[in-house]
């Protein structure tokens, strides 16, 4: 018996296309996103993007960044463990600091980024790297808000 569903649920209809309706702004977002990751390890950047996307409920971005992480060499079990990263031994101290910072910045409505979270990140990243990490977090949060508002959804099946 296959674990594949016989039918996929139809995703909600996408509300709008940012590239079509705001092309200059969309190009600026792409440029901002590209610049945000110049000093951040690509594997770490995908972990951060995936975790923020999980927190924001952006199915499109979770799917895309998990795929990108796997293509970049990320291990499946680490991706599965992202929602419970604190309870696993799979992440380095630097990755844990980056994930804690990701959660604090993403969930900023809960309160400001705690000093201890920022100070822990400072232990693992040079000032310019830390600034770039913050820009990766800001960029994915912006993309998530576009994806959720537009109701972007991943392709129904990956082969």
Please state the separation of Cα 121 from the chain's center in Å: 17
Burial letters 34-51, b for 16+ CB under 10 A, else e: eebbebbbebbbbbbbbb
Structural domain includes residue 13: no
Residue 111 resides in a domain: yes
Q: What is the pLDDT of residue 50?
A: 98
Confidence (pLDDT) at 3: 63
What CATH number does the domain containing 101 carry? 1.20.1290.10
Q: Which domain holds residue 55?
A: 22-150
pLDDT at 6: 58
The reply to whether 112 falls in a domain is: yes
- How far is residue 157 from each of residues 66, 105, 142, 146, measured CA to CA in Å? 14, 32, 26, 22
Give the pLDDT confidence score for residue 5 in this predicted structure: 59
SS3 18: helix
On whether residue 58 sits in a domain, the answer given is yes
Total number of domains constituting the chain: 1
DSSP symbols for 70-112: HHTT--HHHHHHGGGGGG-S-S-HHHHHHHHHHHHHHTGGGSS
- Residue 11 falls within a domain, yes or no? no
Q: Provide block-wise average pLDDT over 10 residues at a time, the chain (159 residues).
A: 63 86 94 91 97 97 96 96 98 98 97 97 97 97 96 75
């Amino acid at each position: 018996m296959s674990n594949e569903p016989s039918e996929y649920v139809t995703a909600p209809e996408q509300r709008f296309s940012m590239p079509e309706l705001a092309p200059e702004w969309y190009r600026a977002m792409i440029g901002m996103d590209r610049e945000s990751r110049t000093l951040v390890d690509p594997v770490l950047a995908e972990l951060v993007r995936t975790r923020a996307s999980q927190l924001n409920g952006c199915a499109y971005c979770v799917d895309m960044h998990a795929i990108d992480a796997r293509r970049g060499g990320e291990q499946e079990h680490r991706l599965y463990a992202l929602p419970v990263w604190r309870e696993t031994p799979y992440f380095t101290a630097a990755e844990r600091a980056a994930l804690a910072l990701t959660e604090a910045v993403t969930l900023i409505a809960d309160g400001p980024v705690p000093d201890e979270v920022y100070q822990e990140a400072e232990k693992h990243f040079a000032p310019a790297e830390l600034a770039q990490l913050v820009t990766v977090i800001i960029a994915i949060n912006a993309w998530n808000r576009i994806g959720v508002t537009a109701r972007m959804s991943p392709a129904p099946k990956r082969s």
